Amino acid sequence: MNRRAFLKQAAFFLSIANAPLVFAKPPDFIKNHLPSFDSHIKDRLIKNRLFDTDYNDDIFLEKKDMLLLEASLKRLKRVQKTVGYGNFCLLNFDDAVKISKSYTAVGAFSKQELAFLEMIFYSRVSEYGLMSEKPIKTITGKIVKKEVKKIPYTGHCLYRGRPIEVYKTIKKEVGNQVILTSGVRSVMKQFLLFLDKARKSQGNLSMASRSLAPPGYSFHGVGDFDVGKKGYGIHNFTKRFTKTDVYKKLTDLGYLKFRYERDNDLGVRFEPWHIEVV
Ligand SMILES: [Zn+2]
């Protein structure tokens, strides 16, 4: 189905669904009590709104892979601790493997762990329900250090050129309450975030990918970034962010685009903090 047809049916579905009331109910209630409709669209919209729950057709890791997930995730965290948070955001796969071999505090990735990471990177995510493009095609994709710049007091980097220009404009127009909450992320950083989410989701890869891009699929790797309100902590990554003055000012600017809009057809939750740059 093309995007226009999806959006047309989605708008109609939401109008009949009396969205705020219906979406406060559990998924099965919604399915059973709404008029019969294109089930594909109904499923997609329900999963977008109620992203943090299990569905019958979700894809789970096999039990044996859960152990590899735990081991790889712990090792990635040890690599991050060794190289530092800022450097880890730029660290590529080959260098991470070298570091793991050189530092006893990290310990070398086992063959099985490396095979597991490859399996995750090259999985067909459309099976999870994710319809996003894949801006980074190979697990060894590198960030060229000359192309990025550290943004003071944030612990994050941005790509030089348009991403930094967009960020500076936002700072200028929204004021000093707006902050960069996540910038450039390497494949390894995305692995750490995605595996952490998959662990918290009990191995439900579909659930994890509804709120966190699998490695290779994150546009943080090529220029997008997240912004938030100073001092708002983890609420910057929840829908509470839409209640802030910062969000209101961002939308008032009129020209910014959020990559994951409300009720998008990508299989990703609404992310009102993620600025689309590329
Ligand atoms: Zn983001």
* CA 224 to ligand 1 center in whole angstroms: 7
* CA 137 to ligand 1 center in whole angstroms: 19
Same domain, 17 and 44: yes
Sign of the CA dihedral running 260, 92, 101, 103 = negative
Same domain, 145 and 177: yes
Question: How far is the C-alpha of 38 from the C-alpha of 46, rounded, in Å?
Answer: 12
What total number of domains does the chain contain?
2
pLDDT of residue 271: 96
* CA 31 to ligand 1 center in whole angstroms: 30
Beta strands 274-275 and 225-229 are antiparallel
E runs forming strands in the chain: 148-151, 156-159, 178-182, 225-229, 274-275
* CA 110 to ligand 1 center in whole angstroms: 30
* CA 219 to ligand 1 center in whole angstroms: 8
In the chain, the amino acid numbered 56 is N
Mean pLDDT confidence for 46-62: 94
Same domain, 16 and 145: no
- Percentage of the chain surpassing pLDDT 90? 81
Question: How far is the C-alpha of 244 from the C-alpha of 168, rounded, in Å?
Answer: 20
161 CB-side CA count, 13 A: 9
Task: For 4-53, write each residue's pLDDT tens digit.
Answer: 666 666 666 665 554 544 555 556 656 565 555 677 778 888 999 999 99
Average pLDDT over the chain, rounded to whole? 91
Same domain, 193 and 155: yes
* CA 258 to ligand 1 center in whole angstroms: 9
* CA 43 to ligand 1 center in whole angstroms: 24
Same domain, 84 and 21: no
- The answer to whether residues 68 and 89 touch, using CB atoms and an 8 Å cutoff, is no
Q: pTM of whole model > 0.85?
A: yes
Residue 179: strand pairing partners: 228
Question: How far is the C-alpha of 208 from the C-alpha of 199, rounded, in Å?
Answer: 9
- Percentage of the chain surpassing pLDDT 70? 87
pLDDT of residue 38: 73
Residue 58 lies in a domain: no
* CA 213 to ligand 1 center in whole angstroms: 9
* CA 134 to ligand 1 center in whole angstroms: 15
* CA 23 to ligand 1 center in whole angstroms: 24
User: Integer distance in angstroms from the first to the last C-alpha of the chain?
Assistant: 25
pLDDT of residue 152: 93
pLDDT of residue 21: 46
* CA 70 to ligand 1 center in whole angstroms: 24
Residue 110 sits at the vertex; the CA angle it makes with 104 and 209, to the nearest 5 degrees, is 110
Residue 55 lies in a domain: no
Helix (H, G, I), strand (E, B) or coil at 252: helix
Same domain, 172 and 85: yes
Sign of the CA dihedral running 22, 25, 28, 29 = negative
Task: For 199-251, write each residue's pLDDT tens digit.
Answer: 999 999 999 999 999 999 999 999 999 999 999 999 999 999 999 999 999 99
- The answer to whether residues 27 and 45 touch, using CB atoms and an 8 Å cutoff, is no
Task: Of 51, 4, 2, give the one whose Cα is nearest residue 23.
Answer: 51
Question: How far is the C-alpha of 47 from the C-alpha of 242, rounded, in Å?
Answer: 20
Same domain, 93 and 130: yes
Environment class of residue 259 by beta-carbon count within 10 Å: exposed (0-12), middle (13-18) or buried (19+)? middle
Task: For 118-148, write each residue's pLDDT tens digit.
Answer: 999 999 999 999 999 999 999 999 999 999 9
pLDDT of residue 216: 98
Expressed as residue numbers, the domain containing 41 is 3-49
Residue 90 lies in a domain: yes
* CA 65 to ligand 1 center in whole angstroms: 27
Residue 136 lies in a domain: yes
* CA 226 to ligand 1 center in whole angstroms: 5
Same domain, 89 and 15: no
Helix (H, G, I), strand (E, B) or coil at 30: helix
